[in-house]
Structure 1
Amino acid sequence: MLPPIDDSILQSNPKFAALHKTLANNILNPDGSTKNHPAQKERDTVSAALKAARIRAAKSSLLLTAFRDLELSPSTTKSSKSSKTQQPPPSQTLPTELIELILLLTSRLSSTTITPKQLTLLTSTPQWTSLSTHLPQLSSLLSTHLQTQTLALARILSPTTNPSFLHRNIPKLCPTILDLQQQISSKKLQLHKQRSNLTTQTTNLLQAYQAAIALTIQLLETSKHGALSLERHYLTKASYLSLSIQQLNISAKEKSIKGQKMVYTEEVVVALERYKENLRDGRERLGERRREAERVLWGYGVGREDGEEKEKIMREIARVYGELQREVVDVGKDVGRLNGRAGGGRRPGR
């Protein structure tokens, strides 16, 4: 059976409610099995074969039970004469050959495994060869016994029916039993659904009672203390929310500290300290190089009031030097192109 789902969940999740409805009505059976299985034809074939095997096994079991329950002793034969059943009592004791045949058939039906040698020996016995002779009497005994059993079942199913008309209900036993089984299954399913609905309705009723009690208490406080009770209620709620926020803040800080401890382990902290020292040393070395460069530039007149002319001369020298470098590069390119042309104009063999 599919597990019950609370109505509040279905109402708060409409997509899940649609999916659950589709699964319950179109895809799955009440027992949870699928309706549209790819191997459904093979399953139907196997189910039909199993049903035929069950019918054969039921017939064998029914015959075996009937043979075992047949009254073979004379005393029971006499007592059956005085019983008010519809089984016609025999006028005399059953023949010995028939009793032996009944015992032989009972043993044959109750034996699960039998070898071919034993089967050949069984079929060659005089009792077994007389089966065709005693078959009418044997069939009459079995029919009488089975009719007695079916009349008892009919009496259970129809206790108010006149006993003289019970034999009319015998053909209806199997359909009636199947119908009753289906009714029991459907009523069990309805009972499970009603239990689920009852649980949901009980929860809703308790919530309604809780809301009604809260409103009643609020109205009583308002009627007795006036608006102060509402203010006290709101102040209490605000303080509760403030404390909750503080608790969340402390919890977040605690988790942040735990996360930092997990990320920045002792090895990581030592490595970062060493990297920090290296950065500090590098910054000091850069500062020293900057001071040295400033002293050199100071010697050339950069940054001095009395060395403006010298600074202009040094800047002009730097500019001319840059132009000379660019010209040297251009000349080098021209020489390279000339060398390439001269190499390409040579004729091979000279």
Structure 2
Amino acid sequence: MIPPIDDLILQQNPEFEALYTILTTVILNPDASTRKDPSAKKRAAVKKELDNHRLRTAKHHLLINAISTAHPTTDQPPPPPPLPPNEKPSLLRRPARSQSQSQSQPSSYQPPPLPLAQPPPPPLPQSLLDLLLLLPPLLSPTNPIPLYQLPLLLSNPPFSLLPTHLPLLSSFLSQSLHTTALTLTRLGQPTTNPSFLHRSISSLPAFTSTQLETLQHKKYSLLRSRLSLAAAVSSLLDQQAYILRKLTRSLEAKHGPISRSLEYSAAETALVAQKQELEIRSVGRAARKEVYSPEVVTALGNYARHLRDAKGRLGERIKGLEVELGEYYCRRDGERDKERKMKEMARVYVDMGRQLEEVRKDLERLA
């Protein structure tokens, strides 16, 4: 098959399009074979011979398959006797009557007597069943039997009885082939009424050939549709990319200067803030240098060390007083009165100290 070419490529290359048109319409067939080949006749003869060989092989395969599937599982009656040549088959057949009998018959219709029950059909002979089982391996080309063994094999039962069982065997094969043909017709025409499928068996080869050709054309059309779809998708993506580029440029033209101005303003403000922070730090360091001279800084350091030492001594003094105060607490129940007296004396001492302080302040004020 000729590979399809994208229509966009053909449109963009007119010379190649003309060459492709000549190739597909004048020089080559749809299957990519040349139309003006000097050995076409010879190849056609070989192809015809190959088709005949395929046909014989297919018939042989169908025959083997029909024999393999025609093995009866139940007793089947022998084929019905043939009809006379001047008589046509009919579903409703009545015996012929003479004109006198028809005139003497009364006008009232009397139904014919019911037929007697048919006896059960005789069972199939064992030799026929053996033939149905042994014929497929014998006809199979995969395991051929040597030629010198064929006369001995065909001269003994059940193969020697093949002419005797040939009518019944033919009916089995016909029924199997008919069933297979009906199955194929049902698969090819699923919408047809099953009661009319037998009418389409004769047109099954033409129908199959038409369906195969249609399938080939559909495959080719599908390939071309896929290429067209790919070209359309590619064109759509190109258009979307073009639209995105235009939109980006439009947004940059509209909002680019404003955003850049805001960005520059923010950067400038950040730099001004950093500058002011550095200036404040430098001013703070200069003010500390002016207020605290080196002598003052040394004196403050010495004073801080003195305060730390005084704090340590005060803490030790507090701990010693707490220890001494703990000795005044009662250790037994009999010393609780003593504890109350000591607390009362401490309270009186504090009050007297406060009163003495007030008297001292009054004397200083009067003086």
Q: Does the 8 A contact of 1:28 with 1:34 survive in 2? A: yes
Deviation at 1:156, TM superposition (A): 2.5
Please list every run of at least 4 consecutive aligned residues from structure 1 whose deviation after the TM superposition is greater than 6 angstroms.
Answer: none
Higher relative contact order (CA 8 A, sep 6+): 2
1:151 aligns with 2:182: yes
Aligned to 2:163: 132
Rg: which structure is higher? Answer: 2
Q: Does the 8 A contact of 2:29 with 2:35 survive in 1? A: yes
1:190 aligns with 2:221: yes
Q: Counterparts of 2:232 and 2:191 in 1: how far apart (Å)? A: 41
Instruction: Give the count of matched residue pairs.
Output: 215
**Hey, which of these two has a bigger chunk of helix by percent?**
1
1:99 aligns with 2:129: yes
Q: Does the 8 A contact of 1:71 with 1:77 survive in 2? A: no
Amino-acid identity (%) = 42
Deviation at 1:179, TM superposition (A): 1.4
Deviations 1:134-158 (A, max 9, x none): 2211111111111122222223333
Letter in 2 for 1:10: L
Aligned to 1:13: 13
Task: Map 1:191-270; keep pairs closer than 5 Å.
Answer: 191-224=222-255
Deviation at 1:21, TM superposition (A): 1.7
TM-score, length basis structure 1: 0.55
Distance 1:8 1:155, change over 3 A: closer
Deviations 1:56-108 (A, max 9, x none): 11111111111111224xxx21699xxxxxxxxx9343212222333342232
Residue segments in structure 2 that go unaligned for 5+ positions in a row: 78-119, 258-367
Q: Counterparts of 1:24 and 1:135 in 2: how far apart (Å)? A: 55
Question: 198, 209, 224: which is aligned to 1:167?
Answer: 198
Q: Counterparts of 1:79 and 1:155 in 2: how far apart (Å)? A: 26
Q: Counterparts of 2:152 and 2:256 in 1: how far apart (Å)? A: 105
TM-score, length basis structure 2: 0.53
Aligned to 2:22: 22
Q: Counterparts of 1:158 and 1:8 in 2: how far apart (Å)? A: 40
1:77 aligns with 2:108: no
2:203 is paired with a residue whose SS is helix
Distance 1:158 1:102, change over 3 A: same
Distance 1:111 1:186, change over 3 A: closer
Q: Counterparts of 1:168 and 1:203 in 2: how far apart (Å)? A: 51
In terms of mean alpha carbon deviation, does 27-36 or 39-48 score higher? 27-36
Letter in 2 for 1:180: Q
Q: Counterparts of 2:208 and 2:162 in 1: how far apart (Å)? A: 34
Residue segments in structure 1 that go unaligned for 5+ positions in a row: 81-89, 227-350
Aligned to 1:54: 54
Q: Does the 8 A contact of 1:11 with 1:17 survive in 2? A: yes
Aligned to 1:265: none
Letter in 2 for 1:60: H
1:130 is paired with a residue whose SS is helix
1:171 is paired with a residue whose SS is coil
Deviation at 1:126, TM superposition (A): 4.5
Q: CA RMSD in A?
A: 2.8
Aligned to 2:138: 108
